[in-house]
Homo-oligomer: A and B are copies of this chain.
Amino acid sequence: MSHEIRIDKTKSPKAKPDQSNLGFGKYFTDHMFIMDYTEGTGWHDARIVPYGPLELDPATAALHYGQAIFEGMKAYNTQDGRILLFRPHKNMQRINVTNARMCIPQIDEDFFVDAVKALVNIDRDWIPASQGTSLYIRPFIFATDAVLGVHPSNTYKFIVILSPVGAYYSTGINPVKIYVENSYVRAVKGGTGFAKTCGNYAASLKAQAEAAEKGYIQVLWLDGVEKKYVEEVGSMNVFFKINGEVITPSLEGSILPGITRDSTIHLLKSMGIKVTERRIAIQEVFDAHKAGLLEEAFGTGTAAVISPIGELNWNGTGIIVNNGCTGELSSHIYDTITGIQSGELPDTFNWTVEVK
């Protein structure tokens, strides 16, 4: 598949936001990438146009039946003036895994990486430069048929929007308090947990809101069948360091296969640290803590990169991990991944892709 990207530049560039107060996903750049899909024709009409509202029929399928998916990735400004993406092909591969589950047509992964590059390049002046900031890239696809009736749409839009962001958690790399969720379920094997589809996120809001009321920043999900095994945390995968070994839940269909998770596993292996992907019961985590063997716990995800867990509450019992401090390993992984992303450390894994 080869596509031309038509470019229609804005005539009225927006004022850029204050870089010291960006927050997450509140500001959008001057342009967006759009491509349409029509059954029979395939993906067509790739274009970069001024950021602006979409005209959607009220019957638009995605609004009714949730046939919509997304990705999240970032572009970074380096000290020496380059722009780096972090493993963008991984995101496009994950789109295709998600698409297959949601009955959305496959995309050409290489082309869409090029499209992201072209868009980021046009809006390169929007990439913030200060520590911890980046340009968040949000590719998403949604069903556009204006017909009611539950079936896969014949038409779709693939859109990429860009948002200059500060740190995801305003508290930075400080350890967070996590609530182990015992009644709500996020996903179950045979469902859509491994796919980055909109419905998974709506389903998580209620538990998150109730945890927030109790003073916790996120919930740790347990498996939906036995409510026994650890799944993931909000928009992050989760790792536990127990007695020198690092353990993370294996990918069995109900959790998202995180790209930061994958990078962390590679990194740990390269450091000679034992990493095991397996089912891990929440009871095992609490037992390890009791035995003094739970050394660190942290979440991994594009938004926060590494988020150390300082406290876990399960069924009314709270445990403090590593005295509520950021662990040595968490720090090291955070520094290494963000160092590679920002070009300050050598890219020994060949993870970055330059935007030229």
- Interfacial residues, chain A to chain B (CB-CB below 8 A): 24-26, 28, 32, 51, 53-59, 62-68, 70, 101-103, 136, 138, 140, 142, 147-152, 159, 161, 163, 183-192, 197-206, 208-209, 224-225, 234-235
**B198 and A198 contact, CB distance less than 8 A:** yes
Interface contact B150-A224, CB-CB below 8 Å: no
* A64 and B197 form a contact (CB under 8 A): no
Contacts A28-B59, A161-B58, A184-B190 given; indicate if A151 touches B102 (C-beta within 8 A). Answer: no
Partner of A64, one of B138, B148, B184, B187: B138
Number of copies of chain A assembled together: 2
Chain B residues, CB < 8 A from A184? 190-191
- Cα A315 to Cα B40 in complex, Å, equals 34
CB distance B202 to A63 under 8 Å?
Answer: no
CB neighbours (8 Å) of A187 from chain B are 191
Q: How far is the CA of A329 from the CA of B96 in the complex (A)?
A: 46
Given known pairs A68-B64, A140-B63, A185-B191, the reply for A205 and B102 (CB within 8 Å) is yes
Partner of A66, one of B68, B101, B103: B68
- CB atoms of B224 and A188 under 8 A apart: yes
Contact indicator A201/B64 (Cβ below 8 Å): yes
What residue of chain B has the Cβ atom nearest to residue A199's Cβ?
B199
- Least Cβ–Cβ distance between A276 and chain B, in angstroms: 27
A101 touches B185 (CB 8 A): no
Residues of B within 8 A of A209 (CB): 103, 152
**Known: A202-B68, A224-B224. Contact between A150 and B235, CB under 8 A?**
yes
Asked whether B32 lies within 8 Å of A58 as measured between CB atoms, the reply is yes
* Contacting residue for A205 out of B28, B56, B67, B198, CB 8 A: B67
Query: Of the candidates B56, B151, B152, which one forms a contact with A53 in the assembled complex, judged by CB atoms under 8 Å apart?
Result: B56
Contact B58 A54 (CB under 8 A): yes
Specify which chain B residues have a CB less than 8 angstroms from the CB of A152 in the assembled complex: 205, 209
State in angstroms the CA–CA spacing of A151 and B54 once bound together: 22
Which residue on chain B has the smallest CB distance to residue A68? B63
Least Cβ–Cβ distance between A94 and chain B, in angstroms: 15
Residues from chain B with a CB closer than 8 A to the CB of A206 are 101-103
State how many angstroms separate the Cβ of A332 from the closest Cβ of chain B: 28
Q: How far, in angstroms, from A223 to B147 measured CA to CA in the complex? A: 30
The reply to whether A24 and B149 form a contact with Cβ atoms under 8 Å apart is yes
Closest CB-CB distance, A223 to chain B, in whole Å?
10
Contacts of A63 in B (CB 8 A): 62-63, 68, 140, 142, 198
